[in-house]
Structure 1
Amino acid sequence: MRHKIGVATLSLGLAMLLAGCAKTSSNAEDKASEIASTANTPALAYALKVKESSQKSALSYDIVKSLTVEVGPRIPGSQGDKRAVAWAEAKLNDLGFDKVYKEPVRVRNWERGFADAKVVSPFPQELIISALGGSIATPESGIEAKVVMFDSLESLIAADKATVQGNIVFLNTKMQRDKAGRFYGKVVPNRVSGAVEAAKQGAQAVIIRSVGTDNSRFAHTGVMRYDDTVEKIPAGAISTADADNLAAMFASQQSSAEDIILNINMQAKDAGWQTSYNVIGEFTGSEKPDEVILISAHLDSWDEGTGALDDGAGVGIVTAAAKLVKDAVGQPKRTIRVILYAAEEIGLVGAYQYVRSNRDTLKNIIFAAESDFGAGQIYQLDTRFAEDVRNNPADLYAALQSMGVELGNNTTSGGPDVSMLPNYGVPVIALKQDGTYYFDYHHTPNDTLDKIKPEDIQQNQTVWAMITAYMAMSDFDPRPAPKG
């Protein structure tokens, strides 16, 4: 969701296909039929067969509904996480995967506990606050101190230490709404590094404006980091509506010498090391079992919502895509591997463990992809394929374009959990979803099943299933991924 958007030059074959579709077809179904009739490989015929069956299926929605209803929140190392692992094993087995197995992942379990914040003076009132993931607790009696506000992390770093010493830092950086979520990366350093930078300046605690695009009283949590060389201070996020209210108090303070005093009390704790698992299901290739199509999502979620968008939707999409391919085309020629990663939310822990445990066989992965940006409709396919073959699957690109999915750049790093794989030569793709409203709900108690539109997640499963079928049933090989 933070990748650069580019316009790729299509091959002559693709251009001819698109031109032919434009001249003789008036809708997406006609275009798909014409593409199928002109394709010179059977792979697209398989993809279009899967498309037809997917458009009649609600499997991805049913899977995420099962996960959110039967498991709910699943922060790494928690009892919810353990239930999620058991649920995933059972679900993959029930869906008939040929092979279902787990890989252990050591995770640090953190418990949120009680959190409260209020303005003591000059205008006493409650604030909605959420402890940031990994934060230490305040003293049991809380922290009460003057608040100093900064509009960015950079302005905090540049501040006179004397203005921060002993106070509570408030980082008030607004996040802009964007279809591709490009502003998340510009604001999230407040959450990740705010406590370290505030502590360097002598602050007692830090609160941030929630990293989100909503205007509500739902606070957004998310992981933060400490530096062992810097004193640890508590860190929390207040809702965007409360951030606006607090900022308005600072604006009124310009004509007054009265300080704004805040009291915060957060009783989060580190619950120690636990074992979680990457849960993996495979449909074994009938002709090339050692060649792997890897599609993935992450199984864990934050603890305040039910993790429907982040990343229950991804779990539903990729699991359904694999199952739909198997049901529509039979045993795939290449192995389709679904990985439900552990502990993405606290630092891609399961993904890094997967690489460490499987380093010798990474070369067998034809391409990897992750769904981890909610359930908004897909509008673009970005790749990281070997340049000399990148445009070879022109018929697939044309079929996707007939569904409104444009071919984008060839420089993507894929989703978060597969982002390290290009370093090992593994090609990746990113299916760009409409994230206009994703950050209204991200990491909040409002991340619940009702935020998923069944028609949107069905479009996702269809696109994923088509690409998976094409790659699993063809000889197209985009290895190695370009370096960069």
Structure 2
Amino acid sequence: MIRSALALLLLVPFALHAQQASPDLSDDALAVAAQLRETALAGSGAYALVESLTTEVGPRMAGTPGDVAAVAWAKAAFERNGFDTVSTQPVTFPAWRRGEERAAVLSPFPQPLHVTALGLSDGTGGTPLQAEVVEFESLQALKDAPADAARGRIAYVSLRMERKRDGGGYGIAGQARTHGAGVAASKGAVGYLLRSIGTDSDRLPHTGMQRYPDGVARIPAAALSNPDADLLSNMLRRGQPVTVQLELDVGTQGEATSYNVIGEIRGREKPDEVVIIGGHLDSWDLGTGAIDDAAGVAITMRAGALIGALPTPPKRTIRVIAFANEEQGIVGAKTYAAAQDDAAIVRHRIGAESDFGAGRIYGFATSALPAASEATVQQIAAALAPLGIDYLPGKGGAGPDIGPMAQRGMAWGWLAQDGSDYFDYHHTANDTLDKVDAAALDQQVAAYAVFAYLAAESDAGFGSTPQTPPAAD
């Protein structure tokens, strides 16, 4: 008896695990997901939304009239696409403007340079800055340089970003854009230049966000196009002092308010529990923001709309968010996350975003790994497989606009887009509609519709758990 009882006790964990790991999505739910997939592939309507936003609004940098027009566009688009409710959430931030931007080598080989100011950079104060340039091969080299290595000069970081399908080269290279001006100022620099964070060879510079740390001078900061960075490095290689003139009419003027625009397809059984998908509504001002991120807004809006057109709504609410001001600090996403209490984090079952261009999705992963959801995740992966999407457990991440909610404890899904050419156009004047393929958007809408619908139908749970910051010492 004792031996039999012990055997039963040993079997209990395995029985519980088997019970937890059993798939919970019904054949009917999987059939609906397959229907959504095929409907999207036949023509999702996402391209028309990208065309509309880029044509009727165009550049929509946060705090500009284009941003105001984009909010009105998004509200109307959600309503036109049949969402049950449409709401807005105010988001406040510093208002940065871009004016004239000019640069040139004065000596020893006078030539013009193509530059663009980095976001939130201060300008040159109405007087062109003239100074000798000193080159550093990376941000780390600049950090490791002596305290006076750039004193009175323009610090220039020449690191070239690597091209990778998953955009993996962006993280390292992007640090030079985000933090380089502050490090340069700490070394005595009067200005900062970097090679654009991009993989192209066009003479079009890439803008992007930078931040000034406390306690250092706010020196003007700009990016050179890749060919101009090559030109400047070639000049410096000759061993003669190179003097550059930089003129930036840019700066921050007070505060501005924009809005997260939120559309919902209400759940039939548990409407207070939500699956969120979305992209960011704002863009930089150089192009029309087609791949960054009109595509993401259109993909997720149409995915939600297809789910909303079903005869029977999903169990839980699908919430599609067009986030405000991602480009200048993920401000809209942070505002959204800050408004959620611990109970709301649990009600957010899982979230995913589209913010990596318009390339086809090739992989799926998720943070949802408790035993209770493993089999359900496998079911979702199987429903995505006909789209050419591989299950890649352990890969990926939450993404920028889902990141603040993930930090609070919400589970995330990752639908990996092919970004092989994304950084050819990212944050440049070349971010335009001609880079978007309608059939690729249809595939992505299919993937987001399948993911969101099945996540909303599942009762297994994906592990959203409020995260509490560590107690102060």
| TM-score (ref. length: structure 2) | 0.91
**Is the 2:396–2:416 contact (alpha carbons within 8 Å) kept by the matching residues of 1?**
no
Q: Which amino acid aligns with 1:478?
A: F
**2:151 aligns with one of 148, 165, 181:** 165
- Counterpart AA for 1:160: P
Per the alignment, residue 355 of structure 1 pairs with 337
Alignment map for 1:459-470 (pairs within 5 Å): 459-470=443-454
Matches within 5 A, 1:85-104: 85-104=71-90
What is aligned with 1:8? none
For 1:52 and 1:162, the matched residues in 2 are separated by: 62
- Compared with structure 1, are the counterparts of its residues 141 and 197 closer, same or farther at alpha carbon in structure 2 (3 Å cutoff)? same
Change (3 A) 1:447 1:386: same
- For residues 176-233 of structure 1, give each alpha carbon's deviation from its aligned partner in whole angstroms, at most 9, with x where no partner exists: 1000001100011111111111111111100000000011101000010012211110
Aligned pair in 2 of structure 1 residues 259, 425: CA closer, same or farther (>3 Å)?
closer
Match of 2:320? 338
Gaps of 5+ in 2: 1-16, 469-473
Q: Could you tell me which residue of structure 2 aligns to residue 20 of structure 1?
A: none
Please point out which of 405, 417, 426 is paired with 1:433. 417
**Deviation for aligned residue 1:156:** 1.2
2:374 alignment counterpart: 391
Match of 1:245 among 225, 231, 255: 231
Q: CA–CA distance in 2 between the matches of 1:422 and 1:64?
A: 28
Q: Which amino acid aligns with 2:179?
A: S
> 1:226-272 CA distances to partner (integer Å, 9 max, x unpaired)?
12211110000010010011111122x13xxx311110100102121
Following superposition, the deviation at residue 455 of structure 1 comes to 1.4
Which segment drifts farther, 176-185 or 406-415?
A: 406-415
Q: In structure 2, the residue corresponding to 1:391 is in which secondary structure?
A: helix
How many residues in Structure 1 have an aligned counterpart in Structure 2?
446
How far residue 40 of structure 1 moved from its aligned partner, in angstroms, is 4.9
Per-residue CA shift, 1:307-326, capped at 9, x if unaligned?
Answer: 11111110000000000112
Residue of structure 2 equivalent to 1:156: 142
Tell me whether 401-410 or 70-79 shows the greater mean CA deviation.
Answer: 401-410
Q: How does 1:84-483 map to 2 (within 5 A)?
A: 84-251=70-237, 253-254=238-239, 258-359=240-341, 360-393=343-376, 394-410=378-394, 412-480=396-464
CA distance in 1, matches of 2:38, 2:90: 37
> Following the alignment from structure 1 to structure 2, what is the Cα–Cα distance between the partners of residues 84 and 183?
31
Give the deviation of 1:58 after TM superposition. 3.7
**CA distance change for structure 1 residues 395 and 185 in 2, over 3 Å: closer, same or farther?**
same
Q: Which moved more, 1:325-334 or 1:349-358?
A: 325-334
Matched-pair contact (CA < 8 Å) for 1:385–1:481: no
1:51 to 37, 40, 43: 37
Please tell me the root mean square deviation across aligned C-alpha atoms, in Å. Answer: 2.0
Q: Secondary structure at the match of 1:77?
A: coil
Q: Deviations over 1:19-65 (max 9, x none)?
A: xxxxxxxxxxxxxxxxxxxx853211110011111111241111111
Per-residue CA deviations over 1:340-362 (Å, capped at 9, x if unaligned) read: 11111111111111112232422
Change (3 A) 1:412 1:216: closer
CA distance in 2, matches of 1:188, 1:220: 11
Identity of aligned residues (%): 41
For residues 52 and 59 of structure 1, the distance between their equivalents in structure 2, rounded to whole angstroms, comes to: 13
Shift of the 385–163 alpha-carbon distance from structure 1 to 2, 3 Å rule, reads closer
**Which residue does the alignment assign to 2:9?**
none
CA distance in 1, matches of 2:407, 2:181: 31
3-state secondary structure, aligned to 1:398: helix
CA distance in 2, matches of 1:418, 1:323: 20
Query: What SS does structure 2 have at the residue aligned with 1:336?
Result: strand
Residues of 1 paired with 2:54 and 2:247: CA distance?
Answer: 30
Q: How far, CA to CA, are the matches of 1:370 and 1:195 in structure 2?
A: 30
SS in structure 2 of the partner of residue 42 of structure 1: helix
Tell me how far 1:113 sits from its aligned partner.
Answer: 0.7
